[in-house]
Structure 1
């Protein structure tokens, strides 16, 4: 599953949005998600079952794990 993980200037995970698009149009209404300056978005592939995780600590831990893997893959 695709997720966009959001981090602050210190690399702390702030949250995630399902998918890689931060805007959507439906029935003439358009919505866009934006973040304050200094925040970063990371387009990451995560486990499909992450959408069903109810425990916030587990969710954050798994997000951090996926983000670390993603960042390691991006290094030359």
Structure 2
């Protein structure tokens, strides 16, 4: 499943949005999600069952795990 994870300038996870689209238009109305300066968005793939996790601590721990894996892969790809 695609998720966009939002972090602050210190790398703390602030939240997540299912999917990679931060804007949508319906019936002529457009809505866009934006974040304050210093915040970062990370578009990653996560386990499909993450959408069903009800425990906040577990959800955030799994988000952090996926984010760390994503960042490690991204660093390895840098020249």
Q: Normalising by structure 1, report the TM-score.
A: 0.98
- Structure 1 runs (4+) deviating above 2 angstroms are none
Q: Which runs of 5+ in 1 are unaligned?
A: none
5 Å-filtered alignment, 1:1-76, equals 1-76=1-76
**Secondary structure of 2:17's match?**
strand
Q: Which runs of 5+ in 2 are unaligned?
A: none
- 1:6 deviation in Å? 0.2
Show CA shifts across 1:16-56 (max 9, x none): 00001100011111100000000000001000000000000
Number of aligned pairs?
Answer: 76
RMSD: 0.5
Residues of 1 paired with 2:65 and 2:18: CA distance? 16
Residues of 2 paired with 1:43 and 1:73: CA distance? 13
